[in-house]
Structure 1
Amino acid sequence: MSVSDARAALPAVELSARWRTLALLVPLLLLDGLVFLVPMGYLLRLSFAERTSGGAFAEGSWSLAGYEYVAETPLVHEIFAFTLGFAVLVTALAVAVGVTYAYAVWRAAGPWRTLLLAGAVCSLFTTIVVKLFAVVLVFSPRGVLNDVLTGVGPLAEPLLLVDNLAGAVIAQLYIVVPYAILTVYAVLTTLDDSLVEAARDLGADRPAVFREVVLPHARPGIAVAGIISFTWSVGAYPAPLLVGSGSEQTTAILVSQLLLTEFDWPAAAALAVITVAVVLTALLVGLWRLDDGGELLG
């Protein structure tokens, strides 16, 4: 084949490659549409339905009553404020624990690194109910921790670490901390050890190396860990419900009550839409603050 024939055939090859790429993307786009866009579209439509006392909602109706309920009900405001505060608290603690644990894994070697990683990974294979049951067994007034502290430790009375805010926070940390650990550790594995050694050779001690070399490099992982922890915690349902007290109500618990107990679907849908909007806003802000160099708030 001559050079001119090859050039003539090149556009056809490029066109064929584009079609192959499109053919690979179509199933993924359809899956996203069916799994995310269609349910979210129905949820959005339901949030604009008319509230009724005799049924879940008035079919075919259009109304802002659901959003008016969210805007005008003080209890909803209190629960929403608690949910945001709870999510921020859990996120801060999860990032702190995740960074510390990931740094320990990164500094460890041989079987110790394998053991530490296994502790984080195996937690992901455990169902949420089992994790929460473990929280009760370990942190309850007659649990393992209090038995040790009151038996051989300095405490005369057991600590109340379940059926309250502390229990809800601890239980939620059991859920989100493994993700924070793995995201930060994944970034730390890309750090060149020679940079750490160079900082040590220049006279920096371990805290200075961690602050000036390790932490800046780990910022993308810290950002992702924060986003994941905040997203999971804003939608927290089982941890506050099963390990917290009745006072630790989140928007997810309120949405469940509106749906299953009060059958007020428009109000539940409106509250769910607002919660999703908050999560997406936090996600977009986090991604926006990640600049091209991969630094957060740099």
Structure 2
Amino acid sequence: MSVEVHPTAIVAKGAELGDGVSVGPFCVIGAKVRIGAGTRLHSHVVVEGSTELGRNNQVYPFAVLGGPPQHTAYKGEDTRLVIGDDNLIREHATMNLGTVNGGGVTRVGSNGLYMIESHVGHDCVVGDHVILTKQATLGGHCQLGDYVIVGGLAAVHQFTRVGRHAMIGGLAAVVKDVIPYGSVWGNHAHLEGLNLVGLKRRGFSRESINTLRAAYRLLFADEGTFQERLEDTAETYAGSPEVMEIIDFIRADATRPLCLPDREV
């Protein structure tokens, strides 16, 4: 398949475009950009910096991919943005390059939906099948697992981790880590329960969901210390990979505060 570049588009010398790439009117592509086969830039899209955009992505007008980090320490270093395959990146969405201090790479997975004016900050690591809805914002260094959904106008504070299959409600301000399968909302966000709707949609068995609910009640009960409940939950549900994913997530970074329920579960 041939590459289609509209006459009004500007593609810098050195840019690499794969088979079947379509570059629409008034797009601007920088010299260090690599775009995978089958990707379509609809119009007025800017792809700059050392940006790698995978296969079969759809990028809509006025999205800016690979813009410089919004960080005062950035001095023009050659850092990167790496985006996977089959993403839908809607109007005015922005994804920034990494910073040297943050490892130098912002990574976005595949099969995601990034709605209008959503933002992925520098040095973020975003998994597959993630949805950022309208104006959802990720600060720098955030980590989002697979299948995370971030509601409209929600903001995730820099360095925050959000586990797989978690749901962040609209307008939430998330300043603490969110466990896998959790559902949070509020300003500042608190843990509202498990993302039961998402679990059912993704085919988790009734047994797995019931086990998660029982483990959740034990982990966030009032009795004992949190560390004691964590160990009890790990021992009681050692045979559940979903529960142990939550336990491993919590143990992985003891320096970060954790989103907790604001009432008895």
TM-score normalised to structure 1 length = 0.22
Query: If you compute each CA radius of gyration, which structure gives the higher value, 1 or 2?
Result: 1
- Larger proportion of strand: 2
Structure with bigger helix share is: 1
The TM-score with structure 2 as length reference comes to 0.24
Which structure's relative contact order is higher, taking Cα pairs within 8 Å and 6+ residues apart? Answer: 1
